[in-house]
Structure 1
Amino acid sequence: MKKEKRKYSKKISPREQAFLSLLAIDREGAFSNLEIKKVLSRSLFSKPDMHLYTALVYGVLQNELYLDHQIKKMLKSRTSLDFKVRELLRIGAYQLLMMDRIPDYAVISETVDLCKKYCPRAKGFVNGVLRNMARQKQQLKNWSWSDYENSVQALSIRASVPREILDIFLQVFGTKKGVQILMQMNQPSPLTLRANRLKTSREKLIHLLEEDGIESEKTLLSQEGIRVENASVTELSGTQACQSGLFTIQDQGAMLIAETLDPKAGEQVLDMCAAPGGKTTYFAEMMENCGQIVARDLYPSRLKLIDAQAARLGVTIICTEIGDSTKLDAKDHGRYDRVLLDAPCSGLGIIRRKPEIRYRFNRKEQKALIQIQRKMLLNAADALKAGGTLVYSTCTVDPKENGEQVQWLTQNRKNMKIEMTRQISLLDDRCDGFYMAKLRKTAQD
């Protein structure tokens, strides 16, 4: 399949760049957050164009099933849409149905112009579909549950969540909470910071941010978390507080995982899948920069991210190592007081941040992932001293990767005892969807 050439210049419009980025995400498997970051770092968009580009990419991905459903209503027959034509129609439909500030004529004109460039034979078709949608816009927007075959279909389409994933959420959280979570899944994620207790306090950091005109408040669950309401990551990165290492940008749920491990000064800690290092550096802050943390990852480039974070925060007790956590060196057996296994997973708990995850979920791939998680869990248990603590965490909500894995570990390592488990969601002070389990090793093998 031929790839569209990526473009990153000031001459390209935000709509065209959104089209090319969506092709890269949907056809080439790019991740939305990395694609957007790459585009914004290389292009010369004005601030309004940056916002439009970002809104289009995330908006189309977050609402793909809903947009396809509405586009289908505009087709007179079971028309088979070319991939590029479908992507253009999604971009146009999103602007017509979900972005009130752009005039209909501008949406249609811009989309047809893009069609002339990338699939000229379809320009009349695209023009007709979008004009028809514009005429029926109010009717399409005024939906009710009775418009669908059943409530499950309605929820799947309105939240743009495939049925298989919808079923997992309803199973884990129950119908009432599950529906609440799914209907809020496409809202923006909050921006949260972790105060660096080696250099400041949460109260002092809130005051410093206020002096820079940044409104913030304490998070309800994490002891060091701060939620920011009126600033972007870019704006925060430019503050003196950031450059001085007074905080780290991190989701509150990730902070809770580190707080669950609760490492102490002077201990030996292993972070098995550490990059990019948010939890690793929090461990060091909790340990008062005293002891040793071994942070491992498969790729040197990712370890550099940990080293850079540690240097900015004033952390000196982290030792980064290239390592495959599906294997355990003899020197690691029974060595550590505490181990974190933040395992690779299906990522269903962070769909807000990476909306394309919902369309890539695959049970066959998940089965292979579960076997990797199990190898890592055995190694994590074996790396602990007697009396040591293991925290197993994921950013998914599927019990097959969470509770069932922890039960499997206790059956295969009889000396591992569960002390607590917790599944959080955006209903928990707007956190991402993290699972965490705390286990203690009662005796050495």
Structure 2
Amino acid sequence: MSSGMEFRRLVWEVLCDTSGKFRKDILREKFAKLNIPAFEKRFISEMVHGITRRKQTLEHIARQYSKALPKDIWVLNALWMGLYQMLFMQSVPAYAIIDTTVELLKERKKHKESGYVNAILRRVQRESHGVENQKQSDDILPIDLHRSIQFQTKVFPNPEKKLCEYWSIVYSYPLWIVNRWYERWGKEDCQRILEAGNSVAPVFLRVRKNFSEIEKAFTSQGIEFSVQGNFLQLLHPGRIEALPLYQEGYWTVIGPSAASFVEAMNPKPGMKILDMCAAPGSKSAYIADLLENSGTIIAVDISAERIQSLEENKIRLKIDCLQPVIMDASCLPKEYTESFDQVLLDAPCSNSAVLAKRGEARWRLNSQNIQELCHLQKKLLLSAARAVKKGGTLVYCTCSLEPEENQAVIQNFLEENQEFVCEEKKQIFPLPPELDGGSFFKLSRKNQEGA
């Protein structure tokens, strides 16, 4: 069996996994067990995450060529694999896509179903072709900024009459998200965010020491990167732990947006800081560096498994001031009351500002989920506030664009806790080059009542 078949088989297994785990975690487990070259890892990752993001587009197109879709998860995902490669991956010839997809199904004794999938793929191949980017139309599927697929028939809603429905299908987002973003930001910004959410999320490394040595080590191993200020952007990220100088703690994984939230805290050496919901610890590590490893960071997380990653980072990065603690941050102990100079709450959220990195998040979201998250966020914020000293700082941030999780949470909090004032706030849209966004609020607690 060719290596190409083996890698597609792996993609198929990940897509059909019913364990409930995030697909990025399933992939990480698979990659840790198998010796797969970096190029093939990129191919596998692109297929898994691309199909996850583009599920709605693929399903809509398939329904144009089939009266009913199969209920068998293996057949359905084989169809998605074939369609995704044919429409979104130019590197693979159509005949090879069809042949390998059919062969996979036959391996599982799904001979009848292989004929069904073969027929749909061949019809899509005949009735579509690549074109340079065209204006939006009911026969056009935009692929990226430079390329589109044109179909022979009207496959999509008419964008002149039903623009949000068209975007929902061709960019593959739930319609309710497209509607709310369009109403909030208008046509141009909404479309830019939708496009960016389907891009491959880059990986950024924050350099902690000896920039030139890292550049030399990466270059010697053929690792492609670009320099972005104090960060390196990996152009083709592989297994992070296998990169040069990882064990020596020369760098940590964090993007410029998330790092800017820490910088806005302006932590000083000797401070006592509480990092709530801290795992995996990239912000804690940056705080420790800004403290010059002098002071105390209590890094709290409810998950024992995630706390383990904090413990490992503490050792690898040689951070003495970091104290990971397994704890429910919504119920901090009494001894934490008014005992911290700064508190950072990176709250659990909808992840709507990091959809390029977390492709499944868009399909797990609904308005009820957001309300449940808001309830938790308010509870955590009150807990965080109790831990801040008078004259201290409380930073609230999320990876969300939704006002219910950001402005509304803060407004409600400030109305009920008037000893706090908002000193700084910002929202970062998830646009190139980083593709990560989020919202940030820096609150200060008055030294005394009315002061």
TM-score, normalisation: structure 1: 0.88
Structure 2 counterpart of 1:424, from 421, 428, 444: 428
How far, CA to CA, are the matches of 1:47 and 1:393 in structure 2?
34
Residue matched to 2:145: none
How far, CA to CA, are the matches of 1:105 and 1:42 in structure 2?
31
Q: SS at 1:130's partner residue?
A: helix
Q: SS at 1:427's partner residue?
A: coil
Residue matched to 1:225: 231
Residue matched to 1:109: 99
Query: Identity of paired residues, percent?
Result: 29
The CA deviation at 1:208 is 5.7
Q: SS at 2:199's partner residue?
A: coil
Residue matched to 2:181: 169
The CA deviation at 1:243 is 2.5
Change (3 A) 1:157 1:11: closer
CA-to-partner distance for each residue in 1:282-313, whole Å, 9 max, x for gaps?
A: 10000011000001111222212112112211
How far, CA to CA, are the matches of 2:278 and 2:205 in structure 1?
19
Q: SS at 2:312's partner residue?
A: helix
Residue matched to 1:82: 71
Q: SS at 1:38's partner residue?
A: helix
Give the letter for the 1:368 counterpart: E
How far, CA to CA, are the matches of 1:361 and 1:276 in structure 2?
23
The question of whether the paired residues in 2 share the 8 Å contact of 1:424 and 1:431 is answered with: no
How far, CA to CA, are the matches of 1:217 and 1:15 in structure 2?
30
The question of whether the paired residues in 2 share the 8 Å contact of 1:31 and 1:356 is answered with: yes
Give the letter for the 2:264 counterpart: T
Q: SS at 2:168's partner residue?
A: helix
Note the 1:402-413 alignment, pairs <5 A: 402-413=406-417
Change (3 A) 1:429 1:56: closer
The CA deviation at 1:261 is 1.5
Which stretch of the first structure deviates more once superposed, 254-263 or 137-146? 137-146
Note the 1:219-298 alignment, pairs <5 A: 219=228, 224-229=230-235, 231-234=236-239, 237-298=241-302
Note the 1:87-166 alignment, pairs <5 A: 87-116=77-106, 117=108, 119-138=110-129, 144-147=135-138, 148-149=157-158, 150-166=162-178
How far, CA to CA, are the matches of 1:206 and 1:50 in structure 2?
23
The question of whether the paired residues in 2 share the 8 Å contact of 1:97 and 1:141 is answered with: no
Note the 1:362-401 alignment, pairs <5 A: 362-401=366-405
Structure 1 counterpart of 2:56, from 61, 65, 75: 65
Q: Which runs of 5+ in 1 are unaligned?
A: 1-9
Structure with greater helix percent: 1
Give the letter for the 2:50 counterpart: G
Change (3 A) 1:92 1:209: closer
CA-to-partner distance for each residue in 1:154-203, whole Å, 9 max, x for gaps?
A: 2112211111222343345443222112112211112211121xxx2556
The CA deviation at 1:380 is 0.8
How far, CA to CA, are the matches of 1:296 and 1:389 in structure 2?
17
How far, CA to CA, are the matches of 1:51 and 1:240 in structure 2?
19
CA-to-partner distance for each residue in 1:205-255, whole Å, 9 max, x for gaps?
A: 5466456554544436xxx333233x5243x64454322211102122211
Residue matched to 1:35: 26
Residue matched to 2:141: none
The CA deviation at 1:50 is 3.0
Which stretch of the first structure deviates more once superposed, 321-330 or 160-169? 160-169
How far, CA to CA, are the matches of 1:143 and 1:109 in structure 2?
30
